[in-house]
Every structure is written in structure tokens, then in C-alpha cells.
A and B are shown apart, each in its own frame.
Chain A
Amino acid sequence: MSNLNSLAFFWPELLLSVTILVAIIADLIYVKKDSFKVAFWSLGGMFLTYIAIRIQSVEPTSLFMDTVAHDPFSQFFKILILISTAVVMLMSLVSAELKKYRIGEYFTIMTIMTFGLFLMSSSIDILMVYLSIEIVSIMSFFLAGYLKRNSLSNEASLKYVIYGAFSSGIMLYGLSILFGLTGTTKFFEMQKAISMLGPDSNVALILSAVFILVGFGYKISAVPFHFWTPDVYEGSPATITAYLSIAPKAAGFALMLRFFNQVFGTMPENASASWSAINGLPWPELIAVLSAATMTLGNLVAIQQSSVKRMLAYSSIAHAGYMMMALPMMSNSSIEGIMMYLTMYLFMNLGAFFVVIYVNDQIGGEEFSSFDGLGWKMPYVAIPMTLFMVALTGLPPTAGFVGKFYIFAAVIESGSKFYWLAFVGAINSVISLYYYIRVVKHMYLLGERSDEFINPSSKLVLGILLVLAVPSFVLGWYFSPVAEWISKSTVMFQGL
């Protein structure tokens, strides 16, 4: 579709761009203590964007001369990204650590990042892929270092920049090899060109695939590209940690699913591709091993942490591993599984991070011991936190179980070849119980029972807890609507 015609389908992104401009201008007008009001402009713009997405057609098509796809698949991820951004913005309004700074541009940058994530989940051209990844990365560097008088935050930002630059450099190299082999930047033309390549270019193809995997692996923090995660997650403002653990990961998975399906897969009608386009590398097995390593390492290190925030950082690596379990299958149900997991993970993980933020503000400290006796002091926090921990472990009847159930189902459906992976995943869930339930132990089992009662600092706190806790519980036993939505959303744009 030509550029001008494409604009008619680009409403959500255009609205988001206008929101960014409005936020920048609003930030110029407000004085420092009022600068948080930029959040309302951003939230309002994002609400309009959401409506724009919902009233758009679901007919798959491509925009801007085949660089951006417009399909239910990307719409699903856009909505996920919008929900997580909106919740994190609300969380940021509560968070005390941000109150010391002028906060207007914080919200502006988050909105720009949302724009980048939108493009990431819908790009079908390697230039657009790189561009969108860079938009997201650079905005993340800013946000990670937002606490500029805090040395940990500075360290986080610098580490993030170095790792990010390094991995996107490698990825770019992989993409350029791919361009050299195929002579095009568009996913579908690449796929056709790859299928016609002779065996002598196989080495170059494998090399480029591995390099590209490095870039994606970095984005979803898969082992062995995870080294940045704990330090960045610990140093960043907790709100941004929560955001980084959800939104870029969701977009990263979207990009990865689309790229591997459409470039390296032998793409038939619907999304059930195989990996046969690359010979000479046991590709599904490789990803399966990476997935097993990711969740095992994430879990084993999470056990040893004494800070809840750092524990959640490592556990988010483990969760990336669970989601990767479904990648090697490349079936429709594995895509559904990852989408379902991300949806459930959004609520429970944001909830867990929000509790950490709130407890840090009220009690001071992110250690396990700061949670001692919370069950008596702040039951309105402790009960949702118990729910979030149980959900992250994956116990029914909570949302986390449904996510795991879908992932396991995708693995087992593909036949006995990957049963070992399901075992590794199952054992890892048991390991994760140990550190998640430790939070519950500190809240209820340890610490003197006192009659001290800390009132919630604002209604907004209760509101956010409710918004995250209710889906974490209800979606655990009634997920039909979500399941239907997801099964409609696996439709990707399939080329011309």
C-alpha cells in the first residue's frame, strides 16, 4: 500500500504521535510540582489510541510499502502494550522515588517508547525492525537512568547502553548478512529468496540467524544474553523495572514470532510453520535448550536473592524461559500459548512490582525482611501480594496457572519429542514456589503480630491493586473471553 493510503490505517500510531507532542508541550507549561499532570495527557492520548485500535478493521494488510503489518496479531500486542504502559504510568504517580525529580518528561519518554513498541510488534521489514528496536532501546536507557542522583540508576543506564549497543550491533551484522544473501529487506521477499538459496550459502545463513537470535535474546533476556537484566532491573526506578519486564518483552516475543515464522519458516497458509528453511542447525532443539537454561538459571539464582526486587528480576528471566518453551513448536497453539502467558504475566508481574514499590515507600526497603508481618500491618497489600506470588508460581485457580497450562499444552501437543522440556518446566515451577512463597512466609509467618495498622496512602493505591489483582484471580478460572480473543488474534499478515 502506498504511503498516503497507509495513513488511513495508521490512526493509532498517529494519535500516539500527537499525544507525544501534546505531552512535550504540556511539560513546558507545568511547573515542577505540577509536572506529574503530563501523565493525564499521556493516559488520555493512550485511551484514544486504544479506541482507535478497537474500531479498526481486522483485515490483515501491509502499510507503507510493505514495512509495517496491520493485522490482528499486532493489534493484540498493541493492546497489551497499552494496558501495561497505562498501569505503569498510574504506578509512577504513586511511587515516592520519582517524586524528587521533575517527572513530566518521564511520561513523555514512556509514550515515545510505546510508539516504538507498537512498531516493533508490527514491523515486517528489517530496517523497520532495527529502527523500532532502537527507539525502544534508547528510551529504555533514559528511563533506566531517570533517578539521576542515584548512582545505582546511573550504573543501570550505562550497563544497559553498553549491552544494548553491543547486542544490537551483532544483530545488525546478522541482518546485513541476510540482506546480502537475499538482496531485500522485506520479510516475504526474503523468505522466497532464502528458499531458492543454494547449499553453499548455508553457513552464512546460519551465522546470520544466530546473530539475529542474539538481538532478540537480549530483548527478552534469554540466557546467555541475560547479563544486563539483574543490574538494570535493580538500579532502575522500580516502576521502570516493572515496565521493562513486561512491555519490551511482549514486543520482543511478537517480533521474534513474526520474524522466525515469516523469514526462516516455510510459511504455509496459517501460522503453523516449520523450521526447515535453515539446514544444518537443529534449530528447535537449540531454542529448547536455551529455554531450559533460561528458566533454570533464572530460578536457581532467584532463590539466593535477599532483595525482593532482585528476586523478581531473576524470576522474570525464568518467565522468559517458560514462554520460550513454546517457541520451538512453531504451531498455532504455541503462539496462542505465548500470547496467553504474556497476558496473564502482565497482571501478576506488574502487581508484584507494584507491591514492592509501595512497601518500599511505606516501610523502606526492598529486602525480604521489610515484608515481615505485613499480613497484619497492611492486609490490603498482603492479600493481593499472596495472590500475585501464587499466580507467578503457576498454581490454580490463578491466572499464572492458565498461562503455564497453555504453554505446557503447546509443548505436549507437539508430540513426545519435547516432553523433556515440559519436565524441565514443571520442575522449575516447583523450584520457583520456594522463593515466591518466601515472600508470603515473611508477610504472614514471620514477624510479630501487632495491632499496628497502616492505612493505604491513597485511593489510587487500592485502585491499582484491585485492577491487577482481580484479573490475576478471575482469569484463573474464567479465561474463555481471553482465549477467544487470542485465538482470533493469531492471524498474521501473510504476504502479498
Chain B
Amino acid sequence: MDHLLSWIIWLPVIGMGVIAFIPRDKSSLIKQAAALVSGIQLLLAIYLWSVFDASNGNLQFMERAEWIPSFNITYILGVDGLSLPMVFLMALIGFIGIFVSWNITNAVKGYFSLFLLLNTGVMGVFLALDFFLFYIFWEVMLLPMYFLIGMWGGPQREYAAIKFFLYTLAGSVLMLIAILALYFTCGNTFDMLLLMERAPVALDGMLWWGMSAIKVIWVLLFIGFAIKVPVFPFHTWLPLAHVEAPTAISVILAGVLLKLGVYGMLRINYTMLPDGVFWFAGALAVLGLINVIWGAMCALAQKDLKKLVAYSSVNHMGYTLLGMAAVIAASEMNGSNLISAQAGVGGAVFQMFNHGTISAMLFILVGVIYDRAHHRDIEGFGGLATQMPIYTAFVAIAFFAGLGLPGFSGFVSEAMIFIGAFPVFRTVVIISTLGILLNAAYFLWAFQRMFFGPANEKYNEIPEINRREVLTLLPLAIITLILGVYPRPFLDLIASTLNVLIESVVMYGGLAQGF
């Protein structure tokens, strides 16, 4: 199939066009159209997975077209083991998200149009291989997100939406400067593949204002991506945006959008600035640790269930950072420990995927109870296990997956990260295992307060989770369970790509010391 990646990216925009012609009072038709488009996209993503050659670590299904020749801007797409899981995740969660938002009644047409536009933006970021194109998709996401939070969100939605917008834009303008600096120092190109070759050489030894150019660009890009992840000092937009956003948008936000930051670091910082990786790895590990502990502590203090889940994202993304930092284990001065590096980075990518499925489940479950009780106060429930047994079972699965119980996919990725990072960041790893404990504490404590103990009379008549909601949760739960006991297919998929990545980081990054 020709132009498979383009189809995956632009299909939602076609869907938007179709929805534009449906009269605004036919809301169920609009929903069906959106579901159909997302469904086809998911099928295409599955097809892509099936024809993808996992043994090849390079980019596949490349598409290339002239776009703006005067600035050497090209339309380049491609997929490898790093982006494929993310594309699949977006397609899956985008499809599920349509059904999660099935009971939206206000301005249905606008909602689903923006939802599809968001989908295109995210897919584009994962598949773009031209830096200009990447940046455009990166920014295209912002406006739909602003509207989706601001128009369909909770009571503080305007504040949450603008805060999200300002934070992300601040990050991305810094990124724009870094992109242009790379463009002009590396022979006028936005082609990421060329930049990967040229940047490590071109920037070597270059000084700006007495600082190494590599460090400057690294930090600019890092801030841009860190705001998205979000890494500790930049995380304050996240709990607010999560709490105020409608359920499906929280699901997309936690499930996919947070991954964009980590993906960007691996795709861009790691390949173009390998020297910077060695310089920054220690800080990255410490930031990861702070995320883990800080997120867990904050989650422990929350009374609002959605806020708890939001902080659990901060906590979980911390592990990814720690795993990414482990890449330096493969360098010569760290004993060429390739296995550690593979485990660490592989664990990080796996953790991204797992957090995508698990946090999506968590947010859907929060949405389910909120739709019925119209509040999310953990203390306001009690003994729900007797009132909503099926719901309780699903929450149990999601919570246990979230706290990293063996048998669920989260355990595998966290274990890989710890194994990978241990040889290089011993103390950090030891302290961050404390995070696992806290992690279990906040989930179990919340579970106990909500589902056990004396039943709250008020909710005796509360309706059980319905079939639509179960169907949105089921695929995610199945994936979590299967990958928990048999993670091999996923790890095989990403292995060759990550080996190429690790090799390139070590090859360049090992050379220059004290640049």
C-alpha cells in the first residue's frame, strides 16, 4: 500500500471534512463518522505493525516529497521501532477515545472535529522526519487541545487551558530556536536523517557565548520536551489540565501526549546531540528520581481521584527518564555494558507504551465514577465493592497494573529500567525503588478508602459500569495483561531500532570528553 504513513496521518483530517458536512443536530451520525475514521486508522496501524520488518533497525516506509525548496523543507515521513508502538498507541487510544466521549452533548460537531485534528497532530509528530514538519505538527496539537479543555472541561477549565497553552508554547518556541540553530550550523537542512549525521560533527567544539553549542541546543530542546513529559519543575500545568479536561481528553493527554516529550528526546536529542547525552545523563537520572518521588508524594496527598491519577503520571514518567539515562552504560568508560543500556532504554520505551495503556484505563475509570456520582472525592465513597462489583474489578486491574504488580506490563518495564540503570546510577536506583513503595501506597490506600469499609448509603442505587464503558476498557486491560506475562513481541519490535540508537549515541558520544 502506497503512502501508508500519509494515510494514517491525514485520515482524521478527511474525517473532519466529512463531519463538516453533517448537520449539527445529527449528533449520533457525527459520532459514528468519527468512530469509523478512527477505526480505519486503527486498522491501518495494525496493518503497518504486521508488515513492519522488526529485524531492520532503520527507518521504513519512507515518504519524501518536495515542499518548500527555498528553505530546503521537505515532507519526509518514516517509521521505526521507536515510533511504531507510539503510532499504534495513538490509533488505539484515539479510537477508544471516541467511545469514551460518546455522551458528549454540547457542540458535538466541534468536539469531534477537534478531536480528530488532535489525532492528526500527534500522529504527525511521531512520523515526521523533517524538523520543520515535526514542529508544525507539534504546534498543531495545541489549539485543539486548548479548545477541548477550555470548552468541554470542568469548572476551572479556562485557566487550565491557557496554562497548558502557555507552558507548551514557551517550550516549543525555545525548540524553534534550537531547530534554526541546527539548520544553519549543519548545512541548511531540516532533514532529520542528515542532521543526525552532520550535527555531532558540525557542533563539535563550537562555542556560543563561552558555552558549548551542544549544551545550549541540548538544553533548549530538553526544556521544550520536558514541559510535555512533564519533568519536575515544569509539571505544574499537568494536574490542572488533567483534572479540568473531559475524560477522553485526559485519556489522550496521559496516554499519548506525555509520550511526545520522551519520544522527542530519544528521536532528536539522543541522535543529534550524543555528546550532550553523556553530559546530561546524570541530571536526567536525578530528574527522573525527583519525578518518581515527587509525583508519588503528591499523589499520596490527593483527595481528588483524578488528581491522584494525574500525579501518578508524573511518577510513572520519572521511570522513563531514569531508563533513558541508562544509555551511557554502553560507553567504554562505563564498561561497554550494552545489556544494561538495552534494558534501560528498552524499558523506557516499554514503560511509555505501558503507561499509555494503564493511565488510559485509570482515567476512563475515573470518568465512569464521575459520570455517576458527579464528584471524584476519594473520601466521599466507601464500600463501592459491594455496590459496583464489576467496576471494582476493573479498578483493581488498573490499580495493580499501575503500581507495578508482577503479571502486569508495568512491572516488566519498571524492572527493566531498574536493571538497566543500576550499574551506572546505583544510588539513584536504590532511592527510586522507594517510589515503588509509595506508588503501591497511594493506589492501595485509595482503593481501600473507595471500595472497602462501610458502604456509603447514598450510592446504593448507583448504576453498574455499562457495556460501552467495559468495551473501552477491555482492549487496554488485555494488552496490559498479555504484555505482563509475555512481553517478548513488543521487545522484539523495538530491539533493533534501539540497538541502532544506542550504537550511534555511544559511537559519537564516547569520543569527545569535556567538550
Contacts and interface: CB of A to CB of B under 8 A. Distances in A.
Given A419-B177, A426-B176, A483-B70, A433 B165 contact: yes
Nearest to A394: B173
A329 interface: no
Contacts of A441: 150, 158, 162
A479 B162 contact: no
Interface stretch (B140-148, B268-276, B403-411, B490-498): B140-148
The 8 closest A-B pairs by CB, nearest first: A426-B173, A416-B208, A412-B180, A396-B136, A483-B70, A430-B170, A396-B139, A445-B150
A433 B139 CA distance: 13
B20 to A, nearest CB: 11
Interface in A414-457: 416, 419, 422-423, 426-427, 429-430, 433-434, 437, 440-441, 444-446, 449
A228 to B, nearest CB: 31
A22 interface: no
Contact of A419 (B67, B165, B209): B209
A484 B70 contact: yes
Contacts of B104: none
Interface in B159-177: 161-162, 165-166, 169-170, 173-174, 176-177
Nearest to B66: A480
Nearest to A432: B169
A177 interface: no
Contact of A437 (B70, B71, B151, B165): B165
Contact of A416 (B147, B158, B180, B209): B209
Nearest to B170: A430
B169 A430 contact: yes
B21 interface: no
B71 A483 contact: yes
23 contacts: A395-B142, A396-B136, A408-B177, A409-B183, A409-B184, A412-B183, A416-B209, A426-B176, A427-B173, A429-B173, A434-B166, A440-B146, A441-B162, A444-B150, A444-B151, A445-B150, A445-B157, A445-B158, A445-B161, A446-B158, A449-B106, A479-B68, A480-B70
Given A445-B157, A445-B158, A422 B166 contact: no
A446 B213 CA distance: 45
Contacts of A484: 70
Interface in A377-419: 390, 395-397, 401, 405, 408-409, 412-413, 416, 419
A329 to B, nearest CB: 12
Contacts of B169: 395, 429-430, 433
* Size bracket, chain B contacts: 35 or more
Contact of B140 (A396, A405, A430, A446): A396
Contacts of A408: 176-177, 180
Interface in A240-280: none
Interface in B197-236: 208-209, 213
A484 B67 CA distance: 13
B142 A427 contact: no
A332 interface: no
A405 to B, nearest CB: 8
B70 A487 contact: yes
Contacts of A405: 176
Contacts of B176: 405, 408, 426
A395 B180 contact: no
Contacts of B147: 444
A397 B158 contact: no
B512 interface: no
B69 interface: yes
Interface string A161-182: 0000000000000000000000
A337 to B, nearest CB: 12
A395 B139 contact: yes
A227 interface: no
B135 interface: yes
A114 to B, nearest CB: 30
B68 A483 contact: yes
A445 B173 contact: no
A390 B150 contact: no
A30 interface: no
A483 B135 CA distance: 20
Most B CB contacts (10 A, CB to CB) among A390, A412, A440, A480 go to A412
A390 B69 CA distance: 25
A275 to B, nearest CB: 21
Interface in B258-276: none
Contact of B166 (A390, A433, A440): A433
Nearest to A486: B70
Interface in B64-116: 67-71, 106-107
Given A395-B169, A412-B184, A434-B162, 19 more contacts: A395-B142, A396-B139, A397-B140, A408-B176, A409-B180, A409-B183, A412-B183, A416-B209, A426-B174, A427-B173, A429-B173, A434-B166, A445-B150, A449-B106, A477-B136, A480-B67, A480-B70, A483-B68, A483-B70
B29 interface: no
